Amino acid sequence: MAGYVGRLWAVLPRPWTQATWGYVARSVMAATLALWLGFQLHLDSPFSAASTVLLLIHPLQGAVIGKGFMRVVGTALGLLVAVILLGLFAQKMLLFILGIGVWLGLCVAGMTLLRHYHATAAVVAGYTVCLALGPAIVAPQQGFDHLVTRGTAVVLGVLSLSLVASLFGRKTVERRLSPMLKDVSSRALRLLASQFKGEGVAAAERRQLALDIAKVDDLLGIGRGESVLIRSRFAALQAGLAYLQAVALQHLSVGQPVVGVSEALQQLAETRGDFSTVAAQVRALQDGLGGESDRLSDPLTDLSNALQNFACVEHETPAPARAVGFHRHYGDALLNGLRALVATLATAAVWYFTAWDQGPTLLAVLGPSCTLLATSPAPTQGLAGLFRGTIYGIVAAAACKFLLLPHISGFALLAVVLIAFWVWGMQATTQPRHALQAIAYLIAFNTLVGTGGTAQYDFTDFANQALAWPVALAICMLAFQILPRNPAAQVRALRRALHTSTGRLLRGGARMDLLKWQARQQHRMVSLQALPGGEGEAVGALSLQLSRSLGRVYARTRELAPGTPVARCAQRGIRRLSRHAFEPGINAVQARCTAQGLRLLGAGELARCYQEVAQLLGAYAASGGQSS
């Protein structure tokens, strides 16, 4: 019997655990402070300040502070647009709704293109307009008051959470960063050791390393908000990750095993010395290759550069940072923006034809839902989580508002009762698979239970408002059904981007920043590997090798004396590559002919570079590397 009770107790949900009680306590303090300030300032909806806190809570201090600042920026931008829309279309409901939908669509599209905290600003700028202008459509004369109330609630929530996080939070990202960097660096060393030994590397191992390096980049984005060290060395660390990503994604094949280099790399992976020392030892291995092919020294160069950049976390002077680029999913952004616009227009149609007085609530729920689901890898599952959390929030709000609140008075008792319901959702936000459900629960509960200065207990009004939440989610689901997310289309779009970018490299590589081009291409490859059906992309690896070989061709051509036969032949070869940029098969023949001409002119080293380009172009064409 005792064992059965123990197992039952183990699976029951808890309001906090030993690992999360500090985070839950900070969240409770911040939400309570924001609610108290809302009442003290006599806001029309004091619970909105607490809702801002509940939207922003995060176990990491950096995410709280960074997202909070960008939330204020986004709110200010959203309020500015709201004032413009209010001034232009206050008496024209259809144009008003269309303006809100277009703006929400632009912000959701912008959120898809931006990274880290900048995406937060785009998100908030979008749904702030929905929250602020919904009531203004019904009562335009009170529109400015709603805007002021909304802006004040956001600022109070952000300040409350940032204050509590700064006073009682712990800076954890900086401590986690160095072990994570050492882990991915050691795995990259072992990967290179296997390749120099002539052993194959499992595609799953390479893919997992590339994805884990991308996770470190995400952690850097969060760490900027809490660590001065990370913020001051962000460019160097991001450059180091780009170099390390190149090691993970490059397919190195050696003719004969280089046992000495392989054993040295394996030993470095096991010793785990400081970054500067390991970087120097990797450079020594690279110098020891002597007359070996540049192709073998390239990954060692990337690895040593990565380790040298990572050394800045050991409080050394940051290495010069290279340019880093990221792929922008413009097609996906357009589709997300169209979904938001369609959902807004569908909401307007429901509001208009039913004459339902909960139109503002529909818009208020729709805006955040569209933004939360836009970047979700599985929108249907995300919507199911939002729906479950909303139902839990409605039930909890009904129990709290009509069974408990009528029997209490005073802010202290109110806070105690609310905390008893808040803590369950706060704990659930620490579990990624329940995060959306927890957010929906917290916001639905806090909004429905909320009152102004004078409490009102009208169950009919409560039920009417509560019904608007699942209806808004159903409209959001309709938008995703009309414009469904197609992972296969995303895979095709990324592959087209890989091929098109390779063609642009051949057309104008001599004028491009090749390191930035490589970083963008690497980001496409990692994004592709994260999608179902995107594994095993060999064309991207070939394009990276091609960029390195072309870089050597451009560098050696610039060193030639102008006007000499060798210089003219080499420059003619570059022009031919540019002329047939999107035809790798033809380009392979052109590069082979140029190599033969250079060999006849006695430029053996440059001829070898062109021959390497020809081989890569031939392999690229055979792998299906055609731009479309």
Residue pair 50/37 in contact by the 8 Å Cβ criterion: no
**Count of all residues that appear for the chain in the document:** 628
Distance of CA 448 to the CA centre of its chain: 31
Percent of the chain scoring above 90 in pLDDT? 14
What DSSP state is assigned to residue 256? S
Q: What sign does the CA torsion over 534, 537, 541, 544 have?
A: negative
- Fill in the amino acid letter for 381: Q
Mean pLDDT of the 366-394 span? 84
Report the alpha-carbon distance of residue 182 to residue 310 in Å, rounded. Answer: 9
Which one, of 285, 343, 328, 416, lies nearest residue 111 by Cα? 328
Percent of the chain scoring above 70 in pLDDT? 93
Contacts for 585 with CB less than 8 Å, ≥ 6 apart = 617, 618, 621
- Give one DSSP letter per residue of 510-536, joined into a string: GGS-HHHHHHHHHHHHHHHHTSTT---
Whether the predicted pLDDT of 574 surpasses 80: yes
Give pLDDT, residue 19: 74
Whether the predicted pLDDT of 421 surpasses 90: yes
Mean pLDDT of the 313-325 span? 76
Residue pair 212/184 in contact by the 8 Å Cβ criterion: yes
Question: Which of 45-54, 64-73, 215-224 has the least mean pLDDT?
Answer: 64-73
Report the alpha-carbon distance of residue 80 to residue 190 in Å, rounded. Answer: 53
pLDDT tens per residue across span 22-60: 888 999 999 999 999 988 888 888 888 888 888 878 787
Whether the predicted pLDDT of 8 surpasses 50: no
Which one, of 51, 57, 23, lies nearest residue 35 by Cα? 51
Give pLDDT, residue 229: 82
Give pLDDT, residue 292: 52
Whether the predicted pLDDT of 11 surpasses 70: no
Contacts for 548 with CB less than 8 Å, ≥ 6 apart = 294, 295, 298
Report the alpha-carbon distance of residue 350 to residue 90 in Å, rounded. Answer: 20
Mean pLDDT of the 329-344 span? 89
Whether the predicted pLDDT of 320 surpasses 80: no
Whether the predicted pLDDT of 581 surpasses 90: no
Residue pair 360/137 in contact by the 8 Å Cβ criterion: yes
Report the alpha-carbon distance of residue 309 to residue 185 in Å, rounded. Answer: 12
| Helix/strand/coil for 427 | helix
pLDDT tens per residue across span 15-30: 767 778 888 899 999 9
- For tokens 């329940």, the residue is 434
Mean pLDDT of the 547-553 span? 88
Residue pair 350/475 in contact by the 8 Å Cβ criterion: yes
Residue pair 554/574 in contact by the 8 Å Cβ criterion: yes
Which one, of 68, 59, 169, lies nearest residue 426 by Cα? 59
Whether the predicted pLDDT of 381 surpasses 70: yes
| Tokens describing residue 480 | 């995703």
Give pLDDT, residue 123: 81
Percent of residues in the chain assigned helix, strand, coil, to nearest 5: 80, 0, 20
pLDDT band at residue 9, thresholds of 50, 70 and 90? very low
pTM of the shown model = 0.84
pLDDT band at residue 454, thresholds of 50, 70 and 90? low
Question: Which of 454-458, 501-505, 531-535, 541-545 has the least mean pLDDT?
Answer: 531-535
Give pLDDT, residue 628: 41
Report the alpha-carbon distance of residue 128 to residue 107 in Å, rounded. Answer: 11
Mean pLDDT of the 593-605 span? 88
Mean pLDDT of the 292-298 span? 70
Supply the mean pLDDT for the chain: 84
Alpha-carbon radius of gyration of the chain: 29
Mean pLDDT of the 82-104 span? 85
Residue 555 half-sphere exposure toward CB, CA atoms < 13 A? 10
pLDDT band at residue 413, thresholds of 50, 70 and 90? very high
pLDDT band at residue 509, thresholds of 50, 70 and 90? confident
Whether the predicted pLDDT of 88 surpasses 60: yes
pLDDT tens per residue across span 100-143: 889 999 998 988 888 877 788 888 888 788 877 877 777 777 77
Distance of CA 570 to the CA centre of its chain: 42
Neighbours of 221 (CB within 10 A): 20
pLDDT band at residue 149, thresholds of 50, 70 and 90? confident
Contacts for 584 with CB less than 8 Å, ≥ 6 apart = 502, 506, 617, 618, 620, 621, 625, 626
